[in-house]
Structure 1
């Protein structure tokens, strides 16, 4: 990869010239008269890609993370908050306090097993608020861990936006210099055609219309 990075001229078409060459992290972006060449050794895909200049719609610097972590974090925090609030506000042990189902009396009628199951359900119901509180705390902890994973997955990217195709992304550094890099590439791939200045110049040099 490093060999090709230093031999950009070997990748050029006949009549194609290099206009701008910018280092971006471990990679680089080379703007030529015809194309935008991207060297992306740290990406999961190809080490090299290119886009024809007319298809490049812009260059920006952005931060991005694994969105699945954020989705799971929000869901876990919402569920945890609801369960924790319900566990604190709802007290079910008072509703079943003092209720004791005698299995001895129902044994003669063959209801001993049924009454035993019902008593266990009542005991579980009395503990439901505590169970919801513990489950809510666990969900909040899981949400916090997911947020941490999302924060760790975030990285700064320099994105070459491509019309009608996937954008080209390069991992960029965290220093503020990358903002100027994005600006330089933006100007290089989308040069100002001077249409406004040209229109003003043409208006100033235009002969007055005698019929106006």
Structure 2
């Protein structure tokens, strides 16, 4: 008869380990969760975990990266939608960023609280995450500049950073408590409209 541990050993891979790590983090929090706890959850030796992740720090870094980048694919798909004009694309992209991050908090608040601690430790992972978001925004701005629907100026990277910074309180984990307010949706919509208006080409009085 195949045991639970044997079945888990047969399918051990990075994703399985990261799933188990998330379970352990949710159960014990980042201060007490260990590689040995993860190995016990999987029914394997801690050496088996170390074959995929050479240290506890590497494991924590990767689980943080996975959490932060969970919505990148969806956002990239919106950024690449040539059937939408760039202003509508940016509007949808910003709304999805807020909705995705807010959803992660609502769906699993205990795990989110843990990741809030981990994010503070993983500056390199956070920097890469932010760089990818800025790159996607810059792509939308470039398309808008090309068809005249947006006027981002010559420094697309700088403008993309400014756009992301402008909506920081609607995607940065540190502001999660404010997302539960009744006014959160309206506040976000107002700020998004302001950002989009600022990027539209100046209208000629002639």
TM-score, normalised with respect to structure 1: 0.26
Of Structure 1 and Structure 2, which has the larger fraction of its residues in helix? 2
Give the number of the structure whose alpha-carbon radius of gyration is greater. 1
Q: TM-score, normalised by structure 2?
A: 0.26
Structure number having the greater strand percentage: 1
